Chain A
Amino acid sequence: MKTAPLTFRRTSLAVKFGLMVMAGTSLVFAAAFIYNHALSRRSILRNAEINASNLAGATVGRIEAVLNGVEKIPCYMALCLEQRTWAREDLTAFISNGLAANPDIFGSTVAFEPYTFDPHSRFFAPYCYHQGTDIRQIWLGSDQYQYFNWDWYILPKELQRSVWSEPFFDEGGGNILMTTYSVPFYRLLNGQRQFQGIVTADIALDWLVNMVASVSYLKTGYAFLISQSGVFVTHPDKRLIMRQSIFDVAEGANDAHLRQVGQAMVHGDTGFVRLESPFFGKPAWLYYAPLKSPGWSLGVLFPEDELFADAQRMGRNILLIGLAGFVILFLIIVLISATVTRPIRALARTTADIARGNLDIKLPLVKSHDEVGELSFAFDNMRVALKEYIAGLTEATAARERLESELKIARTIQMSFLPKHFPPFPEQAEFDLFARLEPAKQVGGDLYDFFLLDDQHLFFSIGDVSDKGVPAALFMAVTKTLMKGIAMQGGLDPASVLEHVNLELCKENDSLMFVTVFCALLNFRTGELVYSNAGHNPPLIRRADGQPEELPLPKGIILGAIEEARYTTASLTLHADDMLVLYTDGVTEAMNPSQDLYSLERLRETVNGVSDQNPKTIVDAIFQSVTTYAAGAPQSDDITVLALHYNGTSSPIR
C-alpha cells in the first residue's frame, strides 16, 4: 500500500492555538492601549494647559506688580507738578528723591513743553538716573535731541494718557534694555487744563529678562515676552531680543499659523495652541497671556515630546510589559496546548504506523474522558475493525481463489471426458452429428456422449447433474463412464442401460446428487430410434416436412434417486432429413439481465428458423441466439446442445 508522505511541513496545533489566542488578546490589548493613550494624552494636555496658565499667570502677576509699582511714581510726580509751581532746584531734588526711593526706576525726567518752565529756555528737562550707587543728573534737550519730537513725549501728549513705550536700548545711559512710562501733566490756566509736559520713569528691563528667563517649564520649555508690536522683549535667544518680532519669525518660516498666533498675542488674547512651526524645531505647545498695562504678551512654550514624555514612557513600559506578558502567555498556552495535544500527536504517529499496515500496534493509552480520549477510543475501534476486515478480506480472497482453482479443475475434468472431434464418424454417411457444451462459471455438470456399438448402431445421450463444481464434474464423469461401459456390453436397450446406471449411481450416493439422462440407440441403417429417459427435458424432433416438436417420452425418474427406479423404452423411425435436437435446461433457462428465461418457445423458433440441414449450423444458431438473448448476463448452468441429422439409408455419401 502506498501512503502519502507524512513528513510534510506543519505548524503544530499548540503553536497554532497559541497564535490564535495571542491574536485575540493582542486585539483587546491594542484597543485598551489606544483608548488609554488617547485618554491620558487629553488629560495631560488639560493639565499642561492649567499648569502653563498658572505659570504664566504668576509671571504676569509678578511683572505687573513691579510695573504697577513703577507707574505710581511718575503718576504721583505728575500730580505734584500740577498742584504748584516748582523752582528749578526743587524740581531736580524732587526727581532725585523720587529716584532714590525707587531702585526699580533707572531714571526719571520731567520734560516741559518749550518755553513753559522758563520762557527763555526752549528745552527744560532735568534727567536723573542711577549710576552705581550714585544718582546723577543731566539736562536733556539740544538741537540734536529735540525731546518733544520723540515718541515717549508725543504719544502720551496726543493720547492724553499715560503710555508705556516700546522697549528700547538706551545707548546713552549704559546700553541696557529699557522701557519708559510717560505720564502727561497739566495746569489749570484760565479755567482750562493746559498741557505742561511729561513725567517719565525709565525702567531697565534686565530684571524682566531675568525673571522671564527664570521661568521654565518641563525640560526645555521657556517663556518669552513680546511687546505691543510683537517685538521680542525677552527670549532665551538673545539675538532675537529687540531685533525681531514674532511676525518676522513667522514671515521667515512662512508660517501663517504663527502669524495668527502673534496677532492674537498682540491683541491681548489668552490661548493655548499647538505649534508645528520650525520656530521651535519640533511640534510644541504655546500658552500665552497678556500683560495688561504695557500691552505686552507673555508666551510659555514647551515641546510636545516633553509634554508627553511621561505618557510615552509609560506607554512604552506598558508595551514592554505587555510584550513580555504576551511572550509568557504564549509560552504558557503552547505548554498547555502541547500537554493537551500530546496524546493526539502520539495518536497521529500511531495512525501513521497503522496506515503503513501495522494493525497490531497498540494505541497510546488515553485515560482522560475528554474528546481526545474518545478519539483514541474511536481510533482503536477502527484499528480492530480494520484488522478484522482485512483478515476477513484475506480469507475471502483465499476462499475465492481456492474456489476458482477448483472450478478450473472441475471444468478440466468435465471437458476432458467429452468427445470433441467433429465430424465424429466421417465414414458414416447416414447421419451427421454435432454437439457443444458451454460450461457455466460454476460448472453445472452437463454431459453428452455418442459412440458406435457396431456397424449399424449409434448410442448417444445427454445429461445434466443436479449439482455444481468439482462434485458435479466427478459425478458427470462417473455417469458418462458407467453409461458407456454398460452400453458397450451390447444387447441392452436404453431403458436397461439407464436401470443399470441408476443402480450403480444409487450405491453409496451420500452426496445426494442426481443426474437427468436422455439416451437413445439409433440403427442408422434402418432409421429406427429406440430411446429412454431419466427425467431429462424432452428433445425436439424436426421432421423433414414439419415443425420442431417435443419428443414423446416414457416415464422415468432421474438417476441416482431411488434404486428401484424402472425405465421404459419408446421408439420411432427417423426418415431422411429428420433432425433431432437434444439440449439441457441451461438452454431454456438461460437468463437475460432482467432474469427472464430463454424458454422452450424461443428454442423452437430458433430450430424452426434454421433451414440448413447441417447439425453444426443449428447448434451454432442456438448458441448464437442464446448468447444474444443473455446479453452478457452470467449463466448459472451449463448450456449443452446435441443435434443429429438423419440423412436416410440411401442418401449419397457426402
Chain B
Amino acid sequence: MQIETSKIDQTVVLAIKGRMDVIAAMEYEKAIMACLQRGDLKFVVDLNALDYISSAGLRSLLTTAKKIKEAKGTANFCNVKGVVQEVFAMSGFDSILPIFKSVKDALPG
C-alpha cells in the first residue's frame, strides 16, 4: 500500500493505493495521527486506487474517523468502488462514513 498525501487549501488529501491489510492499516493510522498532531483538521481520503481492504483496514478507517471527529475535524471519503464498495456495503460503512463521488465533491465547504 502507498499513501500519497497532498494539500488543497486547508484540506489534507490522502490517496490510498494498493491493498489495505493489517500493516497498511497501522501505517494509515500513523499518517492520520501525524497530520492531527500537526494541527490538520480537514481530511479527504481518496480510495480510488484501493484494491482491497481487510477488516483491520475497516477498523482503522473508523477509528481515525472517530479521532478526527473528536478533534472537531472532518473526514470525508471518496471514490469508493469495486470490491471496496462491496465491503463497505456489507459492513455498513457506507451508512456511517460520509462518502462522496470525487475529491472535488469531498472537499469541505
Residues of A within 8 A of B (CB): 464, 466, 512, 514, 516, 533, 535-537, 553, 555-558, 561-562, 565, 585, 588-589, 591, 595, 597, 636-637
Contacts and interface: CB of A to CB of B under 8 A. Distances in A.
Contacts of B58: 535, 558
A561 B96 contact: yes
Contacts of B96: 557, 561-562, 565
Contacts of A556: 90-92
Contacts of B95: 557
Contacts of B22: 585, 589, 636-637
Contacts of B55: 464, 516, 535-537, 585
B62 A585 contact: no
B81 interface: no
Nearest to A509: B66
A636 to B, nearest CB: 6
A336 to B, nearest CB: 60
B62 A555 contact: no
Given A466-B59, A561-B62, A535 B67 contact: no
Nearest to B64: A512
Interface string B26-58: 000000000000000000000000000011101
28 contacts: A466-B59, A512-B63, A535-B58, A535-B90, A535-B91, A553-B90, A555-B89, A555-B91, A555-B92, A556-B90, A556-B91, A557-B93, A557-B95, A558-B59, A558-B62, A558-B91, A558-B92, A561-B96, A562-B96, A585-B22, A585-B55, A589-B22, A589-B54, A589-B56, A591-B23, A636-B22, A637-B22, A637-B56
Nearest to B62: A561
A597 B22 CA distance: 10
Contacts of A512: 63, 66-67
A555 B94 CA distance: 10
A466 B92 contact: no
Nearest 9 A/B pairs, CB to CB: A557-B92, A466-B59, A535-B91, A585-B55, A589-B22, A512-B66, A555-B92, A562-B96, A585-B54
- In the complex, which of the residues A533, A535, A637 has the most CB atoms of chain B within 10 Å of its own CB atom? A535
Contacts of A565: 92, 96
Contacts, number: 59
Contacts of B91: 535, 555-558
A636 B24 CA distance: 13
Interface string B59-92: 1001100110000000000000000000001111
A475 to B, nearest CB: 13
Contacts of A537: 55
Contacts of B23: 591, 595
A145 B58 CA distance: 160
A636 B54 CA distance: 14
Contacts of A637: 22, 56
Q: Is the interface of A mostly helix, strand, loop or mixed?
A: loop
A516 B89 CA distance: 15
Given A556-B91, A556-B92, A557-B93, 6 more contacts: A514-B59, A516-B59, A533-B90, A535-B90, A553-B90, A636-B22
Nearest to A464: B55
Nearest to A516: B55
Nearest to A535: B91
Nearest to A635: B22
Contact of B92 (A464, A535, A588, A595): A535
A553 B92 CA distance: 12
Nearest to B92: A557
Contact of B21 (A514, A555, A589): A589
B63 to A, nearest CB: 6
B74 to A, nearest CB: 17
Contacts of B66: 512
B61 to A, nearest CB: 11
Contacts of A595: 23
A408 B50 CA distance: 37
Nearest to A515: B59
Contacts of A533: 90
Contacts of A535: 55, 58, 90-92
A448 B90 CA distance: 21
A182 B8 CA distance: 147
A445 to B, nearest CB: 11
A562 B96 CA distance: 8
A106 to B, nearest CB: 137
A646 B59 CA distance: 33
Nearest to A557: B92
A597 B59 CA distance: 18
A555 B92 CA distance: 6
A464 B92 CA distance: 17
A436 B65 CA distance: 33
B60 to A, nearest CB: 8
Nearest to B91: A535
Contacts of B56: 466, 585, 589, 637
B28 to A, nearest CB: 14
Contact of A597 (B21, B67, B92): B21
Contacts of B63: 466, 512, 514
Nearest to B56: A585
A536 B22 CA distance: 15
- In the complex, which of the residues A562, A585, A588, A595 has the most CB atoms of chain B within 10 Å of its own CB atom? A585
A589 to B, nearest CB: 5
A556 B94 CA distance: 11
B36 to A, nearest CB: 14
B54 A588 contact: yes
Nearest to A562: B96
Nearest to A567: B92
B86 to A, nearest CB: 10
Nearest to B93: A557
Contacts of B21: 589, 597
Contacts of B67: 512
A536 B95 CA distance: 16
A222 B40 CA distance: 118
A514 B89 CA distance: 18
A535 B54 CA distance: 10
B13 to A, nearest CB: 24
A1 B90 CA distance: 60
B7 to A, nearest CB: 26
A430 to B, nearest CB: 30
Contacts of B89: 555
B98 to A, nearest CB: 13
Contacts of B92: 535, 555-558, 565
A268 B91 CA distance: 139
B82 to A, nearest CB: 17
Contacts of A588: 54
B91 to A, nearest CB: 4
